[in-house]
Structure 1
């Protein structure tokens, strides 16, 4: 069964701008691998002088077997981010628009 899901993520603990850009590239690769590259925005923000990578869906995605996919996707976000910045800390927040009606 599929579900409509939306998500945002934040990656903190990044040492410098070069590492932040590397995290962006890694996460864009993940989005392409998951075939959602055109539906997810990924970028860098500065918060109190610290580089933070943020991103999320531009609109809800229809995901088959979302109850299995979502936890695995969270693990993948962390793994890809840590490939570029070993000290990275990742947080993913989910929303389910169909349940909010």
Structure 2
């Protein structure tokens, strides 16, 4: 992942509403949800939701597919995992530092 892509993703997720939407769709992966279901689950007005879904889609965090008259949104989990990899690529200079290693004392 390039630094510019990471910045775009973080800027998009800097909104608490967009973060809630993305986390909801991660839980709904891989099937995703239609916009009405997202609005209902997160108690968001449709116009407000539409604005945030567009921003998340433009950032590459969501994919959207038309199903009849509905739009189905899915979290781009590949991008999410790519971001985690980008953030941890140089973690601890290659020494195992996963939370499990810290808990078990393997990283001391």
**TM-score with structure 1 setting the length:** 0.32
Q: Which has the higher helix share?
A: 2
Bigger Rg over Cα: 2
**Which has the bigger relative contact order, CA under 8 A and spacing at least 6?**
1
More strand by share: 1
**What TM-score results when the alignment is normalised by the length of structure 2?**
0.31
